[in-house]
Amino acid sequence: MADVQLSSTSYLKYAFKDQHNLVVLLGAACFSLAFASPFPLLVGAVFELLWLLSGPQLPAFRDWVDFQLSTQYLARAEAAIETALAELSEADARRFSALSRNATELVANVQDRLATRELQLGLHGLLELRRTFLDYLFLGQRIEALVDTTPSADLEKEAAKLQESYGAQRELILRMTIRKALTSIQRRLKQQVALERVRRNLQLRLEMLESSLPYLRSRLADPTVERLAQEVDAALAEIGPAEALELTVDEIFTQPPPSPAL
């Protein structure tokens, strides 16, 4: 789950760049010029040093910085998702929109009783859940493009004919040609069987992601449960990322062809 982690150096940077701090520095410099005296600037420099030493360590300031960065990150992520949705089919885009609405409703139901930081972590967790769902939708599109449109029964009949021809043929060159064609068909059959298993697994995971939101909503209806992010992380850990299935698809099409039983 994405979390905004800042080092003390980063907090120092934001303390210095804070607009209130810059206004004070500029004001001190202007007073020094107006009165032709370095005293206002020296006072401003002292307060600046005190602020830079203490400000980055203040929990309230750190929370404010974290909230600003979190909000910016979420906004960028939503913009990227909107762009990606244009590449989905209409049915998949509607499916994703329904999931997003459920996530929004979940947040609306719990935001009044969650601490600000816990709510932000929960928003990042739900973003990761939605992006995982999106990854599976795109993987589903890839699988659909790889599915052989020739019915398996037709391929099996063709394989049986080739095997019969191979057994009856005595000319070496023709036997090698038949063997090559038979190997290709057997490979296609094996790939489609494996691809169908992946497709069923993918649909199961999509359904698990969709059902996870109503489950989380029921869990969070219990007032003693206040860790939205932890609940989302647990759901994602159970389902797993799309990368594992993507690797399985890659392996299906990179494995050596099976040796035909001749």
Averaged pLDDT for residues 152-156: 74
Which is nearest to 63 in space by CA: 53, 52, 71?
71
pLDDT confidence band for 23 (50 / 70 / 90) = low
Residue 239 has pLDDT above 50, yes or no: yes
Q: How far apart are CA 118 and CA 114, in angstroms?
A: 6
Q: What is the DSSP string of 145-212?
A: HHS-SS-HHHHHHHHHHHHHHHHH---HHHHHHHHHHHHHHHHHHHHHHHHHHHHHHHHHHHHHHHHH
Averaged pLDDT for residues 171-183: 76
Averaged pLDDT for residues 112-138: 89
Q: How far apart are CA 216 and CA 38, in angstroms?
A: 61
Residue 258 has pLDDT above 80, yes or no: no
Highest mean pLDDT: which of 4-8, 181-185, 217-221? 217-221
pLDDT confidence band for 53 (50 / 70 / 90) = low
Averaged pLDDT for residues 219-243: 83
Structure tokens at 55: 């400000």
Residue 92 has pLDDT above 90, yes or no: yes
pLDDT value, residue 215: 87
Q: Which residues contact 231 (CB under 8 A, 6 or more apart)?
A: 216, 219, 220, 225
Q: Give alpha helix (H) positions in the chain.
A: 8-17, 19-35, 39-54, 59-85, 90-110, 116-146, 152-168, 172-220, 228-239, 243-252
pLDDT value, residue 66: 74
Residues shown for the chain:
262
pLDDT confidence band for 64 (50 / 70 / 90) = confident
What's the mean per-residue pLDDT of the chain?
78
Rounded alpha-carbon distances, angstroms, from residue 16 to 22, 44, 46, 66: 7, 13, 14, 15
Averaged pLDDT for residues 24-44: 60
Q: How far apart are CA 129 and CA 120, in angstroms?
A: 14
